[in-house]
Amino acid sequence: GYSPASPKPAVECWAVSYPQTVNCTWKPAPEPRLETYFITTYRHGMGAKENECVQPWAGASSCSISDIQMFSITPYVLNVTAVNPLGATMNLFPFIVEQIIRPDPPEDLRVSPIPGESKKLLLEWQPPSSWPFPQYFPLKYLIRYAREGANSNRTVSIGPYEQTSFILTGIRPRAVHHVQVAAKDFTDYGNYSTWSPLVSGTPWTQP
Ligand SMILES: *[C@@H]1O[C@H](CO)[C@@H](O)[C@H](O)[C@H]1NC(C)=O
Ligand SMILES: *[C@@H]1O[C@H](CO)[C@@H](O)[C@H](O)[C@H]1NC(C)=O
Ligand SMILES: *[C@@H]1O[C@H](CO)[C@@H](O)[C@H](O)[C@H]1NC(C)=O
Ligand SMILES: *[C@@H]1O[C@H](CO)[C@@H](O)[C@H](O)[C@H]1NC(C)=O
């Protein structure tokens, strides 16, 4: 039976590889001395058949759902049941796929000087490699940048198009600038990714 003895796993699902998969994670068993395993299933609609949300290995605290139906207004419901010798705890997580789209952060951000341009910086990056079809599902991007030592930063929104470069203009000559990028599905469904790691650069200075 169900017992409060096994703590509830807090479940989170994101479509990081839309429209291929939904990846779900939950807190691992906080009581490692108790042998705990997770049963992970999902349904798409009331009374629909139960399918397995596939864990990469036994005892993992993540699972993924492939075979996603796009633009379905019927919620999916993930069921993560933690089982240990003291009992079982069930946690249901309903979601609409388009509402949980969240790409991984953009990759390989580079910040470079442009020869002869003392107030500009060239930014280049790659879409997240986990985003399977950037040509059919373009991303839009947010750029966040700040001069070293400044106590606030600026944000520029670009796209949606397949553009993965941008020129920052009107920036202070000779100053080191820190830059980050985040990505979102172009339809504006779901959420922005987290920010990419900080990368720094300085505009062109006369040699
Ligand atoms: C999502 O799940 C797929 C399929 O199991 C896996 O290949 C991929 O690495 C997972 N992505 C993330 C970001 O965890
Ligand atoms: C959730 O999964 C558990 C374990 O498979 C099962 O016993 C329970 O009936 C399921 N609950 C729902 C609401 O599907
Ligand atoms: C922008 O500000 C946030 C919050 O203060 C900070 O965490 C982040 O590192 C800053 N980003 C840049 C590019 O400086
Ligand atoms: C995702 O976006 C929604 C709506 O914009 C917002 O309410 C929610 O806090 C966001 N979630 C995360 C984890 O950023």
Look up residue 85 and give its two tokens.
């010798």
Q: CA–CA separation, 44 vs 63, rounded Å? A: 16
pLDDT of residue 1: 40
Closest CA to 102 of 13, 196, 25, 40: 13
114, with CB counted inside 10 A (0-12, 13-18, 19+), is middle
Q: Of all residues in the chain, what percent are helix, strand and coil, respectively (each to 5)?
A: 0, 45, 50
What is the tens place of the pLDDT at every residue in 21-58?
A: 999 999 876 677 788 899 999 999 988 999 999 999 98
From the alpha carbon of 77, which atom of ligand 2 is closest?
A: 14
pLDDT of residue 10: 83
What mean pLDDT do residues 134-157 have? Answer: 94
Which band of pLDDT confidence, cut at 50, 70 and 90, is reported for residue 206? Answer: confident
Rounded to the nearest integer, the mean pLDDT of the chain is: 91
Residue nearest to atom 10 of ligand 1 (CA): 23
- CATH number belonging to the domain at 11-100, selected among 3.20.20.70, 1.10.287.90, 2.60.40.10, 3.40.50.2300: 2.60.40.10
Report the share of the chain in percent with pLDDT over 70. 92
Q: Could you tell me which CATH number the domain at 107-201 has?
A: 2.60.40.10
pLDDT of residue 5: 47
Q: Decide: 100 and 190 in contact? Cβ < 8 Å.
A: yes
pLDDT for residue 6 is more than 60: no
Q: CA–CA separation, 159 vs 139, rounded Å? A: 7
pLDDT of residue 35: 87
Ligand 1: lining residues by beta carbon, under 6 Å: 16, 21, 23, 56, 64, 130
Closest CA to 24 of 69, 72, 76, 73: 76
Ligand nearest to the CA of 46: 2
The domains of the chain are located at 11-100, 107-201
Question: Do the first three CATH levels of 11-100 and 107-201 match, i.e. the same topology?
Answer: yes
Which band of pLDDT confidence, cut at 50, 70 and 90, is reported for residue 113? Answer: very high
Closest CA to 22 of 50, 44, 53: 53
Look up residue 35 and give its two tokens.
């042998």
Which band of pLDDT confidence, cut at 50, 70 and 90, is reported for residue 163? Answer: confident
Question: Cα of 190 to ligand 3 centre, how many Å?
Answer: 23
Question: Cα of 73 to ligand 4 centre, how many Å?
Answer: 19
